[in-house]
Structures are given as structure tokens and as C-alpha cells.
Amino acid sequence: MRPFETLRDLCHGQPMLEQVCLNWKSILGTGLAIYIVTKLAKRLYQRRIALGKIRGLRERIAAKKLAMVERLSQKASQDPGHGGSSALVTRERLEIISMPLEHLLDQLKGGQLKPIQVLEAFQARALEVTEEHNCVCDFITEARDWALALESVPGDQRGPLYGLPMSIKECYFVKGYDATVGLSRFINQPLPADASIIQHLKELGAVPFCLTNVPQTMKSYGCSNPVFGVTTNPWDKTRSPGGSSGGEACLLALNGSPLGIGSDVGGSLRTPAHFCGVVGLKPTTGRIYQEGRKPGSEGFLVGINSNAGFMSKNVDGIALGMKVLCNETKTMYVDSPKLPISPGCQRAVKLAANLLEKDGHTVVPFHLKHLQDLYYIYIDHILADGGVNAMAWLDGDIIDKSISINYLAWSTPEFLRKTLIWAFIAARSPDIASYAIRGVTKTYQLWRSMKKAIDIKTEILDDMRKQEIDILLGPGFNFPAVPEDYPSQLISGVFVPGIYNVLDFPAGVLPVTRQTKQDQDLLATTYSSSDHTHHLVRTSISNATNMPIGIQVIGKPWEEELVIHAMSEIERLRTEGALARGQYTPDWESLDARPLPAWYDDAKVGIFMHFGPYAVPGVESEWFWMQAMRNESEGDQKCAKYLEDYFPPKFVYQDFGPMLTMDFFDTDFISDLVVDSGAKYLVFTSKHHDGYCNWPSTYSYGWNSMAVGPRRDVLGELKSSFEKRHPDFHFGVYYSLFEWFNPIYLKDKENNFTTREYALNKMQPEMKELINKYSPDVLWVDGDWEAKPEYFGSKDFLAWLYNESPSKSNIVTNDRWGQGTAQKHGGYYSGPDRFSPGTLQAHKWENAMTVDKISWGHRRDINIEDILSMDEMVTEITKTVSCGGNILINVGPTKEGTIIPVFQERLRSIGAWLKVNGEAIYGSKPWTTQNDTLSSNVWYTKKGSDVFGIVLGWPKDDVILLGAPKVEQGQTKITMLGFSGTLDYTTEFQGVAVQFPSLGKVLQGCSSGCQWGYVLKFEGLAKDDDYKVDISIEV
């Protein structure tokens, strides 16, 4: 008998049941539809509630920040010696945040600094840093009251942390503040009391002043959540700072806090330390206060310990923190886990081991047994609840991308995860397939797993004691910092730090090196092209040159002091040891690994000024002396004839010196003009190939601006004007390595540069005097073609510049350091003069070009056709920035120290154009396409998710057809900078047709600031991933 016949029989004679039997499909479909609609409606309602709570919280915090900025700015304006790095960070505040921690505490305890001064200094810096990187969730308003109250504490009763501001990871309980861990459900749930560790730190005199960002649920080594948004890496804003203590690491790396508190359940403070180049320590469980933290989910993790720990910019900070909370010849190993470790991270461990060995410590290999078992135990315990507790908090909330893969795993039924999904992963990545089926869910399994972990720990400790091992060295992570979309896809990376949570060994991270080009070149042989996970790693770090790389220092339980001591030794040897006096050693591998300070890439536009005695004749070019002497080409002969026709027979080039009067050299006018041009930095000639110095150089034998000519310190006066009138501006200098006719240099040249009298006794000390005296932000060197960098001592000088000079943190240099260095070594690549490749370059570069098409120095015989038009100028700026470069625009002052009117007009016109269109230039990055595929007069830049198309020339019939942008109807918005309103567009077979407004309306709206190039702003385009193009630049 068939089932349906039986069902009919059951329904027969029962009117209601008969209706059910006859219409069961409709009833089931209707029920299912009602269920789905109800679930969707609930989800939409919950999302609406969550967004409302998030919006309210963000508005409150924004108002709080605005009030802080107003108060701190007002106090800054009252500082007569402002001269700081910005409107908020005055010179006094800059000095405070730059102090070593021990000295800062001495100044506080001794009364030389007041707690409120120090608090405001770090508040000002933290506001700046979070504006750029979004690392601070909230500022603790009461910190000001706490700092002021400390002033009444007698000197002999001041605690060890007296007046020290501290940043706190957002998961810690601070009375009156939420601990959301990135979940909207916990907004507006202020904590009734401080966590034990916060309370104790305050009792010791610390001033907690801000809360730092975390990834949603803290179960990711990314750092983003729907409540507070994305935190970016301090070295590269496209990359993650790590997690879950990512906001803390970012703030510390940029001097926004002197000491911070994080937490660690699987590298949660060590991974951010590794990614951001700071120091962190995970102590043994119970060594310091643990209570008073919001976990990442409901329930309690069994067998894996989460630990509170200190983070700081250097080892002194964590040593101080551990000392105040704990009341209180090594043998090392090189770790080699089964999971692939990037070449740079392997090199970092070997580098630290070599430093210790050369300092007299015994270094031996140590095999960490049962490594694979430790990985399995870690993941078994992390997934022991099957994600139930995390899902309990995520239900109804917005899911952040940093935990998207976690969420997928938690929400997938176990039988599917262990069958179909396992098979899918196994086919793509055999190395990690086994992790897809992990997770002990039975009590007896958990007990057995914990016993196994204890047995492994006992065996490892026995091995360490037998071999007299005190400390272990290992990689800080599998690889350097990755872009923010990758942490959820590369979950296996957490196993390297996570095994020490299983073992409950204290472990710290400190930076020891940076990713180099050589590390990048080895990626292909380290990671398999057939394994999907390996492919993701290679892709994520394919452009990670210059990113920080740390190592882990691991000790036995309860021996944190030994771990800190070992970290201090490595830090000391790395910075002051026999191998190097500083972080950078005098070799190209180390020097080229230095990251370019971020301000330079953001600036985009600079002004160049060539000025010297060659401005007096003003004929042919700044090479007048050499041209007149060699008398070979037509231009040379012109210079020689000029001397012959207008000056006595014995007149020599040096006689032009007294004629360089600079009668009308107005430094305030010059500085205002440069700033009006829209430029963010200036490079002024300190010394050209003629050897004349525009400052009172001790090594110039009287051939300088103070001794001959204007009798003025040209560089000093100019820099002072910028500091006074435009304190945020970046002042730089040009310096020629060699001098045409210096007899000492010529003697070395005659000896085939086997002697180095000029380099050692003239050039090197003079360059150091220049840097020490003026602390420039740019050092633009030239004259590299005659001798090798070994003659000039370029590598030794750069090591000093980057490690010890007063400009070490902020200075950028170019690549002309001797034969063979151009476009290979140094800082950014300046290429040949007027370098404009028109294509995206792999390394940060600069287009140094001239408004005068012929000369870099002033020419008195210049004609209007020799000067670039504004159309040509805007085209050059646009192409350069679109292809990832900076542009350095040269104008040469006259012998009177003035800028001729036509040059003034060009500079101010550039400034007017940038005032309207600077959003597309400053701080921008190259897009997936530089030059449009259909309209060749359109070039693109990108900032965040917005794309800018710079149109060089007004389109015919007010319509332009673009092939590169992928618009999405209803999502994409197109506007024109300088013009209000949105622009209409239609999608065509070839691309998108954008309808321009009338030219008259546009010109009326932006005055004279946009007629040389019109900028379209695209919002809501398809994501960059859809374009399948690598757009990274090595900075």
C-alpha cells in the first residue's frame, strides 16, 4: 500500500484533516514562506536597531573628540614656542611624547612635568593618529580629572606610574564605559566598575586615557568591526595592524601612547606587535591580574588561556609594567614549524640568534617536539563548542569581514563541515584540510586532550632542563602584515603564537628587521603554487617590502623576568651592538628596507629651487661654470663668449659670488608663495656642483652665502620662515656629492678614487653639519655619476642618517648615491631628470622637472615659449600622481633672490587648481587603471573606495566615454570636484558615458581653479578585486 493512500485513509471522515491532506503542499509552502519572511523581517529589524545604536555612539564620540580638539588647540595657540608638528602637537608636546619612558617618569615624579601636561601631549597625538588610522575607539573623559588630582600627591607618595597616560584595549572594563568587543548588542551598557588591572594601575599613579580598537568578537588577527570600523597598519594603511590588540599596537607604533594593555589568547597581542613593529609580552597565566575583561563569546574557553599583557614601543615599557604588577649566558633555539614560515620571518630569527651568539651567548638548535599535536590541541579547544557561544552573541548583529570565515564555519552544520567542506578544502589546500574537521565536543575528549597537552608541556620542559635551555626564539608570526581582507582567509597563521597559549609559556614579541626585496624574491620557492593557502600567503605579502618583522622570545612558566631580559639584550644588540650602531646597518639590504615616511607619499607635490652664483650671469643653465670651462658644445661656447664679452680677462666664476646680492630676498614671501602653490614640501639648493653653500658651512673654505655675496644664512632664514608661518610644511635640501673644480676632489679623481680625502674630510662632515643644523625632511643628493658609493661613503652616511641624525624619523632621500645606485638603492627613485614614465612603477618615484624647459637655474634670456603652459603643468602633475609618483616642480630665483612674475603666476595657478581638485591628488593611491582605455586624456587616482578620473580638456558635446570604471546602476554616484550636484551617466556597450554640465557653469563655480583639468569623482564603483590588476607600489 502506498503512503499517500494510507494518509488519505487517515484523513477520511475528518473534514479539517481532509483539507490538510488535500492542500498540504500549499500549507507547507505558506508556512515556509511565513517562516522565511519572519526571519528576514527580524533580521532587518535587528540590523536597523544595531545601526541606530552604532550611529548614536559614533555621534557621541565624535562630539567628544571635537571638544577635545578645541580645548587642546586653544592651549596650543597660547604656547609662544609652538613650532610643533601640527596644530595640536606643539613643540613642547612633541618633546614630551618623544621622551624615553624612564626619563618621562623621572620628569613627572620630580615635578618638572605635570600629569596634565603629559596627558594632553598624548591626547593630542592620539587624536592625530586615530584620525589617520582609526585606532582609538573612545577617549576616557575622566582622565583629565585624574591627572589634575595627581598634582596634589606629595612627592614621596607618588607611585611608580605617577602621571603616566596609558591606553587600554577596548575589551577591558572601565567604569562608565562600554566594552563592546565590536558588537552592537553591548552598546549603551556601561560597566559599573573598573577591571582589577585598571584599578591597580590607577592606584600606582597611571592615567588610563583611551580605549583602542579590536576585531569583532576578538576572534581574528584583523582589526575591524561594525561599531568602530577598520583600524589600519601604521606603516601601510592598506594592511592590517593585526589582532585582536590591533588598535593598541597601531597607537603605540605612532607614539600615541607610552604604554598599553592588551590581551592574548592565540597571539592577540604578539601578532599586532609583529605586524606594527612594537613590543608585547604574553605572561604566564595568573602572573598579573586577569579579571575584568569581556571575552569574545559566551562561556569559558577550556585548556587555552587568555592572558592580560603589556604592550609598548620598546622593551623598557613592558619591563616596567611587569615590575610594578609582579612586585618585583642564555641558550636559544631556531624554531622551524611545519607550517610554512615566510623567508623574512625565518631570517629574523636567524638574525636575532646571530646577534646573541656574537655577543657571547650560546645558541643551539632546539627541536620543539609534538608541534603538529600542539596545533591540533589549539584548534580542538578553540572549536570545542562548535561556535555555539560566539553565535549566541552574533545573532542579530552585523557580521564584520574580519570574522566572515569564522562565521561561516560556526554556522555550518558539523556533518557538512566534516564531509563536503573538508573535501573541498582538501582538494585546494591539503596542508590545512585536517583543521576543518577539528574540534573536540565530548567531555571525555576534552579531558584526554588536556592531559595530552600537559604531557607535551612536561616533556618539552624536561628537554629544556636537560639541555640547559633558558629561552627559546621563534618567528613572531608566519608572515608580515597582510591586507585587511586576508586575516579571515588565513586563519592558520594564528597557530605559530597559539601553541604557547596551549603550553602556557610566557612569550614576548619585539621587532628585529623589515621585509626586504630578497625576502620577496624567495616567496616563489617557499610556497607551493598548487596549494590554495600557500597561494593566499604569497599574494597577501607579494608587496610587503619594508613591513616590520618581529620574533618571539619564549620562556619557561613564571620566568617573565628572564624573557624580558632576553628581549632587552636583543633590542640592545640590534640598536647598539657590534654589528650596527643602529637599526639600519651600512649595507643596501638593510638601508633599502627602511620604509619611506608616510608624509612623503601623501604630499605628492613639492617645489624645487636651484639657487647659487650661476644666477648672476643667468645664461644657458646652472652648469654655467663647467660649460664656460670645457667650451665644447654650442651652449658651452655661448657661456665662454659671455664671459669674454662682458668681463675682464682675469675674471673667474668665483667673482660672481660677491654679485649674488639677494637684495630683495623675502623669506616670508617665498614661503607663502610655495604654500600657495599647493606644494607640501620644498627642496632648496644647499650646494650645487660649483661647491657654493647657501649656509655658513664650516667646510666650504669661505665659499658660502655668509662669507661671500648676501652675507646671510639663506637656508636658516628660509627654514625659520616656514616654521613660523607654516609649521606643518616639510623643508628639504639639495646637496651635490661632488664638486667640479675642488682641488681635493680632483686629486682623488686623478688617483681613480683610491684615495678619499675629499669624501672623508669635506663631503661627509659637511653633510652631517647640514643635517644637524637644519634637520631637513628631504635630502635630495646629486652628482652620483663619477664615483662609486664606496668612495662617497654613502652607506655609512645613510646608516647614520637613519639611526642617529635629528632627522632620522621623518627624512626621505632619493637614489643618487654613487655609480650604479640610481633606481636601485636609497629612498624613493628620482630617475633621470624630468622622469615621467607614463606607467605605474613598482617603487615609489619622483618626477623632478622644471617650469623652464631648458634650465634648472634662473636664466635672464628666457622666452615665453621656453616656459611650460598651465595645460602642460596640470598634465604632468596628473600623469605623475596617477602612476604613483610625486612631482617636484623647479623654479630658479634671480640673483636678487626674487621669483620672476611668470613663475609666480604658474605656481599660484597650480595652487588654485589643487585647491579645487586636491582631493584627487593628496594622499591618493594608484588605481587599477592609470590611463583610460577609451579616452586617452583621462587619468585615474584612488582614495579609499573613491576613484577619481582627471579629464585633461573639456569633452566634445559635453559627453565623455570611459572604458575603465565599472559602474553599478543605482549604486554608483558621479560628481565633479568644484561643481555641486551629481552627473548623469549611461552604460554603453564599451563603457560608461558621463554627461558633463555646461562649461560656463563649471567655470563659474570654480573660478580659475579647474579649467586645465576636470576631476570626476566616482563613488560606489565595483570593488578593485573585480578588476584583477595588481596596483601595489613599494614605498
For the annotated catalytic residues, the residue numbers are 169, 244, 268
Q: With residue 686 as reference, give the H or E element that holds it.
A: strand 681-687
Candidates 848, 851, 1029, 1010; CA nearest to 925 is: 1029
Half-sphere exposure of 383 toward its Cβ, with a 13 Å CA cutoff?
Answer: 22
Element (H, E) at 327: none
Alpha helix segments (H runs only) across 134-186: 143-150
Q: How far apart are CA 291 and CA 173, in angstroms?
A: 9
> 947 has which bridge partners?
942, 1018
Residues 6 or more apart whose CB falls under 8 angstroms from that of 417 comprise 409, 436, 437
DSSP states along 232-291: --SS-TTB---SSSHHHHHHHHTTS-S-EEEEESSSTTHHHHHHHT-EEEE--TTSS---
Radius of gyration of the chain (CA): 32
DSSP 514-582: E--HHHHHTHHHHS-SS-HHHHHHHHHTTT-TT-EEEEEEEE-TT-HHHHHHHHHHHHHHHHHSSS-SS
Give me the sign of the Cα torsion angle 967, 970, 973, 979.
positive
Q: Evaluate whether 767 touches 776 at the Cβ level (below 8 Å).
A: no
Of 68, 575, 551, 56, the closest CA to residue 352 belongs to 551
Give all strands of the β-sheet with 985-987 in edge-to-edge order: 959-962, 992-995, 985-987
Q: How far apart are CA 1001 and CA 999, in angstroms?
A: 5
CA angle 950, 814, 829 (to 5 degrees): 50
Q: At what angle do helices 443-466 and 495-503 cross, to 10 degrees?
A: 90
Q: Render the burial of 290-307: b for 16+ CB within 10 Å, e for the rest.
A: bebbbbbbeeebebbbbb
DSSP class per residue in 735-763: EESS-TT-HHHHHHHHTTTS--HHIIIII
CA torsion sign for 34, 39, 44, 50 is positive
- Angle, helices 115-133/24-77, rounded to nearest 10 degrees: 130
Quick one: which of 149, 113, 128 has its CA closest to 69?
128
| Residue among 254, 823, 133, 827 at smallest CA distance from 548 | 254
561: Cβ contacts below 8 Å, ≥ 6 apart? 322, 328
Spatial CA neighbour of 439 closest among 376, 494, 375: 376
CB 207 within 8 A of CB 143: yes
| Backbone φ, ψ for residue 237 (5° rounding) | -70, -10
**564: phi then psi, degrees, rounded to nearest 5:** -65, -40
The CA distance from 742 to 760, in Å, is: 14
Q: Report the side by side order of strands in the sheet with 938-943.
A: 938-943, 946-951, 1014-1019, 973-976, 979-982
Are 278 and 168 spatial neighbours (Cβ–Cβ below 8 Å)?
Answer: no
Alpha carbon distance 797, 805 (integer Å) = 10
How do strand 207-212 and strand 136-139 relate by DSSP bridges?
Answer: antiparallel
Query: What amino acid occupies position 282?
Result: K
Where do the DSSP E strands lie in 331-383? Answer: 331-332, 362-363
